[in-house]
Amino acid sequence: MSDNTSTGLAYWKANLRIVGSLLVIWAIASYGMGILFRPALEGIKVGGTDLSFWFAQQGSIYVFLALTFYYAWRMNKLDREFDVHED
C-alpha cells in the first residue's frame, strides 16, 4: 500500500468519524429530545411549551444549523491537517 493511499484512507476514516458523531448528535436532538425523552422533559417550559415539543419544532433545527457550521469548520481543519485544503 502506498503512502498516498494510506493518507487517503486516514483522511476518509477521520471524515466518516466526524460525520457519524454529528449524525448521532442530530438524531438525539431531533428524535431523542422530541420523542424518546418526552416524558422526562415534560415539566420544563420553554416559550410557553414543553421542552420536548420545542425541540421537535425548533430546537432540532437550531442544533442542525450549529452542526452544519461545526462540520464546515472541522472539515477545513481536517483538510489542512492532510494538506488537501483549497486556498
pLDDT (tens place) for every residue of the chain, 87 residues total: 456 788 889 999 999 999 999 999 999 988 888 888 888 888 889 888 888 888 888 888 999 999 999 999 999 999 999 988 787
- Boundaries of domain holding 75: 18-81
- The per-residue pLDDT for 55 is 83
pTM of the model: 0.81
Per-residue model confidence (pLDDT) at position 54: 86
Number of domains in the chain: 1
Indicate whether 44 belongs to any domain. Answer: yes
8 located within any domain: no
Would you say residue 87 lies in a domain? no
Residue 71 lies in a domain: yes
Q: Does 5 reside within a domain?
A: no
Output the DSSP codes for 16-48: HHHHHHHHHHHHIIIIIIIIITHHHHTT-EETT
**Residue 67, in any domain of the structure:** yes
